[in-house]
Amino acid sequence: MAQLAKNQELEVTITDLTYEGLGVAKVDGFPLFIDNALPGEKVLIHITKLDKKYGFAFTKQILVQSPDRVEAKDRTLTQTGIAPLQHLSYAAQLKFKRQQVTELYKKQHLDIEVLPTLPSPQTSGYRNKAQVPVRTVQGQLATGFYKRRSHTLLPITDFYIQDPEIDRAILVVRDLLRQYNVPAYDEQRNAGVVRHIMVRRGYFTHMMMVVIVTRTRQLPHAKEIVAGINAQLPEVASIMQNVNAKRTNVILGDHSKTLWGQDYIEDQLLGSTFRISAQSFYQVNPQQTENLYGKAIDAAGLTGKETVIDAYSGIGTISLTMARHAKHVYGVEIVPSAVADARVNAELNGIDNVTFKLGKAEDVMQQWGEQKLASDVLMVDPPRKGLAPEFITAVGSMLPKKVVYVSCNPATLARDIKALAEFGYVAKQTQPVDMFPQTLHVESVTALELQQD
């Protein structure tokens, strides 16, 4: 190891960017990961931590600046991980995301063309959902976000990537909680009342849902808070209380009750209307979601004669869109409220060639395989952990002609493509889609065809 020490300052040249958005410099072959540094820059750094194989540092001064650097909106947005790429130009962000997928494919020895990343129509203010912690900061109830790798809440009023109307709604609720002296949650003592505020807003409908997540069954001054929300936020159609009494990092508990209005909002996507409950999964960048799903449907190559399985079907956004182009769609989803929403959404849109089943995707897939359900196209949009091994085994027994993989994690995508190759599935290209500008995340669409001898 190079002769380096904690708190040492030295000049380095940045050669790369990690998937976490940290600059990389090597001192005599020893890698340092550096906050607020971009490839090509020469910077003066301050070393904060050294391990046996690598170290961490922050940028004290930029000596030679990258042409890709742009002015950051607010340092807090980097410190909390809300917008870790805000200092990188948008064109460079798109290249970085494409590179992420390319590098992970190389590691798995996969020869798949990675197309240029599809840019988002909006690069700020695009999120239609917020979940913000509520804590006491300097003796006052505050809303914001945690500093990375800590439980220290940094108060934030402008989240930059969220719909500005959602930011405004959070402040309205925060001020009402302050006005009625409702205690914020105390993580250490598992005391206090309000843990999180969640707000959803329909991009096309402008319907808004406010969810106040509490540790306790009772929300003090609920009547007055509801009246205050209604007086200041005319778009609100649903005010919910969700109770989460557990000592956990999971945001929502199992029990929700309606404080005012209905227990859902609606929004439109690709010509269909969707009912969205508090716990439903719904993509957070609505304009780009239309592009993402459009690419997925194009990749499926539907003619109207196909039987399609949509694993991880959620509230039916992909299922119902595909049902307009297929013979029949079977959706499977593990969240009961999402399945209930999906069935209502099918009725709302007059779509009857779709069947939704509640259960784990891997279990239901195995059942369908045993029942000899023949499918032409399998659509998968799994969580970040990717496909379970049992799911991949079920795909191997059912052998649909095509698998369309919508991924939010290129690492598990590459792993799963490698596993599906064992059953004869081959991918020629991947289309990265930027669903989350200013962040490190990248979605993608990949079509895998079954190559039979």
Catalytic residues: 408
Q: Count Cβ atoms below 10 Å from residue 239 Cβ, excluding itself.
A: 23
Distance CA(335)–CA(199), nearest Å, equals: 20
| In contact, 274 and 267? CB cutoff 8 Å | yes
- Residues 6+ away with beta carbon under 8 Å from 322: 297, 300, 302, 308, 310, 329, 379
**CA dist 156 → 14, 130, 228, 295 (Å):** 30, 13, 22, 35
| In contact, 325 and 304? CB cutoff 8 Å | yes
- Residues 6+ away with beta carbon under 8 Å from 254: none
| In contact, 211 and 229? CB cutoff 8 Å | no
Distance CA(332)–CA(366), nearest Å, equals: 12
Count of positions (residues) in the chain: 453
Dihedral sign from CA coordinates of 339, 432, 449, 290: positive
Distance CA(217)–CA(222), nearest Å, equals: 11
According to DSSP, the residues that pair with 154 across neighbouring strands are 145
From first CA to last CA, the distance across the chain in angstroms is: 52
Q: Count Cβ atoms below 10 Å from residue 131 Cβ, excluding itself.
A: 14
Q: Find where tokens 């906050």 sit.
A: 35
Classify strands 23-27 and 30-35 as parallel, antiparallel or unpaired.
antiparallel
Burial of 188 (0-12, 13-18, 19+ CB in 10 A): exposed
| In contact, 312 and 378? CB cutoff 8 Å | no
Q: What's 287's DSSP letter?
A: H
Distance of CA 79 to the CA centre of its chain: 19
| In contact, 142 and 134? CB cutoff 8 Å | yes
Which two three-digit tokens encode residue 150? 């800590």
